Amino acid sequence: MIHLAEDTISQAELINLSQWVVENNRLTKGPLCKQFENEFAKWQGSKYAVFVNSGSSANLLMAQSLLESGRLKNKKVIAPGVSWCTTVTPFIQLGFDVSLCDCDANDLGLDVEHLEELCKRENPSIIICVHVLGHPNKMDKIKQICDKYGAVLLEDSCEALGSVYKGKKCGSIGLAGSFSFYYGHHISTIEGGMVVTDDNELYNLMLSIRSHGWARDVEDKYHDSWTNEYNIDEIRDLYTFYYSGFNLRSTDLNAFLGLSQLNKIDEYAKIRNRNYNIYAKELCDFWCQTSECDFLSHFAYGVLVQNRLEVYKHMIKNGVEVRPLICGNIGLHPFWIKKYGAQNLKNADVVHNFGLYLPNHAKLGEDEVKYICDKFKEVALVKMPSGKDSFVV
């Protein structure tokens, strides 16, 4: 079976980890977490990074920290229709009014025309984008819209680790960006995630909210300001909670893996980029996801087919794992329907009904990509049913 993802953690890394575990008596959050944060921030081109236990927690941390920051003019957010459950649900769980934006027909990010319509109507405090399958959104235009309507821009970059847009890595373009180090992503810490930002105040808020809302981990100037404001002495400070926080911490065990994985990411990204180019050439008769991108650290190859279930069964039969093109339209998922009712979005509905993605990972060779393409073309039908093809194919 050619899998969608393969483990990025080598046997040598596991042996090194086992030796480290035996020799160290502190496995929870400690100095290696801080080291991993510093090295990741440097690699990413951001000032600060906060290591958490998943990419989903990274999104939750961004949402809660902004809510506690006092910066928001309201509790309205615009989120992508084509995204992931835990891109959207943290805002719902925290009481935000969430509007879904349709996807762009090329990069599958936010459709800028629909985004502006929503901003005119909703005047949101936050816009969050997702760089779908590694492809950047139209970030210049989206930033212009954010500036025009006074909205904070967040990036869910969990599928875009290493992708570069006009000289900046995805995740470092907005106020803050999230990443995932789950098994199926570019690198793995078993479970884990990261938030990056250049904003010092938001960074310290995230450090506090990640760990219950206390002040133990924040910089001295924030610690002293908070204790002085509330007249907290040094014994009471150990268990004083300044914000409504969570326990989203990761561990030094995960950070140990992260530090070695970080040495591989550039090589892995190049392989993923090469595989994308092979797919695009071999499947040139099919719709191809494209974006304004200096470098594409590709996640998986998105396709649209009329006969999706037939293609799925054929690929599985021939030893190739395929899945829907992430969520399709979030507005057509049960959790959304139960709360808001079904929401149709022109382009996102096409992805929902006809989208698949094909494997890409750092262990996938050129011959395997060509095999996947050959098997795909044996049954895949290019054209969408009449009246439903809002994409040009």
Q: Is residue 102 in some structural domain?
A: yes
Task: Supply the CATH number for residue 357's domain.
Answer: 3.90.1150.10
Distance CA 335, CA 341 (A): 9
Same domain, yes or no: 305 and 366: yes
Query: What stretches of the chain adopt beta strand conformation (E)?
Result: 48-52, 76-80, 97-101, 126-130, 152-156, 164-165, 168-169, 176-180, 193-197, 301-304, 323-324, 355-358
Q: Is residue 386 in some structural domain?
A: no
Where a domain ends, among 261, 281, 298?
Answer: 261
Same domain, yes or no: 365 and 232: no
Q: Rounded to a whole number, what is the distance in angstroms from the first to the last CA of the chain? A: 29
Structural domain of 329: 265-379
Same domain, yes or no: 200 and 301: no
Which residues in the chain come in under a pLDDT of 70?
383-393
Q: Return the pLDDT at 383.
A: 58
Q: Are 122 and 74 in contact (CB under 8 A)?
A: no
Same domain, yes or no: 54 and 155: yes
Give 346: exposed, middle or buried? Use CB within 10 Å, 0-12, 13-18, 19+.
middle
Same domain, yes or no: 251 and 311: no
**pTM, 2 dp:** 0.96
Q: Return the pLDDT at 382.
A: 81
Alpha helices for 150-251 (secondary structure H)? 200-210, 220-230, 234-237
Q: Is residue 387 in some structural domain?
A: no
Query: What stretches of 135-187 adopt beta strand conformation (E)?
Result: 152-156, 164-165, 168-169, 176-180
Token output for 158: 């969990």
Q: Is residue 343 in some structural domain?
A: yes
Same domain, yes or no: 354 and 221: no
Q: Is residue 302 in some structural domain?
A: yes
Q: Is residue 384 in some structural domain?
A: no
Nearest to 132 by CA among 175, 101, 92, 167: 101
Give 198: exposed, middle or buried? Use CB within 10 Å, 0-12, 13-18, 19+.
middle
Same domain, yes or no: 66 and 206: yes
Same domain, yes or no: 337 and 358: yes
Nearest to 165 by CA among 257, 46, 293: 293
Where a domain ends, among 233, 261, 289?
Answer: 261
